[in-house]
């Protein structure tokens, strides 16, 4: 199958309510992760860009589901980040409601890409997000980002802790990743390509 032309990437829309979610036969790869985990950086790395999905946007400010169409063949769906301490209760509630609506809708996710920090035990919010993905029945991969910040000897134990904390079934791939250096990009691209025809 032809490689994905990541140079052909366009922003489609920001959805703030369920009637704006995209329902399409084009496959959707849905990216989720807590604020500052490097979700934008991972998306940018996949697209070989610096500034396509925003990096370092003030966390918690954008409670939208952002849709990008890549090569006319696959949607990259950027879920709003979570777990940022400084957001108001009202914003937290808005996030919770939108995510509930997103995960309650059938057929919005073909591949879930859950991004966690390779350095740390996943947070309670990460565990909840992983549960939502698992319950949705979609295929899931977990990306452990910021690998470049780990010592070699820390990689294996940290990956084991992430797998155990998120209670990942054996078939869920856990990809050590560095958005900064590029490790893991090929492995994640291979998983995305499995969704394309």
Residues 136-155: x where in contact with ligand GDP by CB under 6 A, - otherwise, as a string: ---------xx-xx------
| Position 80 contacts ligand GDP (CB under 6 A) | no
| Position 178 contacts ligand GDP (CB under 6 A) | yes
Asked if 165 and 142 touch (Cβ cutoff 8 Å), the reply is no
| Position 112 contacts ligand GDP (CB under 6 A) | no
| Position 83 contacts ligand GDP (CB under 6 A) | no
Instruction: Please identify, among the stretches 1-9, 32-40, 98-106, 160-168, the one whose residues bind ligand GDP according to the rule CB under 6 A.
Output: 32-40
Choose among 102, 103, 57: nearest CA to 81. 57
| Position 111 contacts ligand GDP (CB under 6 A) | no
Instruction: Please identify, among the stretches 36-44, 64-72, 86-94, 158-166, the one whose residues bind ligand GDP according to the rule CB under 6 A.
Output: 36-44
Which string of DSSP letters, residue by residue, matches the chain?
Answer: -PPP-TTSEEEEEEE-SGGGS---SS-EEEEEEBTTSSHHHHHHHHTT-SSSS-SSPPTTS--SEEEEEETTTEEEEEPPPB--TTS-HHHHHHHHHHHHHHHHSTTS-SEEEEEEETTSPPPHHHHHHHHHHHHHT-EEEEEEE-GGGS-HHHHHHHHHHHHHHTT--TTSEEEE--TTT-TTHHHHHHHHHTT--
| Position 56 contacts ligand GDP (CB under 6 A) | yes
Q: Which tokens sit at 144?
A: 């452990």
| Nearer to ligand GDP among residue 18 and residue 125 (C-beta) | 125
| Position 125 contacts ligand GDP (CB under 6 A) | no
| Nearer to ligand GDP among residue 175 and residue 179 (C-beta) | 179
Instruction: Please identify, among the stretches 95-103, 119-127, 153-161, 175-183, the one whose residues bind ligand GDP according to the rule CB under 6 A.
Output: 175-183
**Site residues for ligand GDP per CB under 6 A:** 33, 35-41, 55-56, 59, 81, 145-146, 148-149, 178-180
């Amino acid at each position: 199958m032809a490689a994905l032309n990541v140079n052909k990437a366009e922003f489609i829309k920001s959805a703030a309510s369920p009637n704006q979610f995209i329902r399409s036969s084009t496959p959707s790869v849905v990216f989720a992760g807590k604020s500052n985990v490097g979700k934008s950086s991972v998306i940018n790395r996949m697209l070989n860009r610096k500034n396509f999905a925003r990096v370092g946007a003030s966390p918690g400010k954008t409670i939208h589901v952002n849709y990008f169409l890549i090569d006319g063949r696959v949607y990259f769906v950027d879920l709003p980040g979570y777990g940022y301490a400084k957001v108001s209760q009202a914003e937290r509630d808005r996030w919770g409601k939108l995510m509930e609506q997103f995960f309650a809708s059938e057929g919005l996710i073909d591949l879930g890409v859950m991004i966690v920090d390779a350095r740390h035990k996943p947070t309670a919010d990460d565990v909840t997000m992983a549960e939502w993905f698992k319950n949705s029945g979609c295929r899931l991969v977990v990306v452990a980002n910021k690998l470049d910040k780990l010592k070699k000897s820390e990689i294996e134990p940290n990956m084991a802790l992430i797998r155990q904390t998120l209670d990942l079934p054996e078939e869920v791939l856990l990809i050590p990743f560095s958005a900064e250096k590029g490790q893991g990009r090929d492995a994640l691209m291979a998983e995305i390509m499995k969704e394309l025809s």
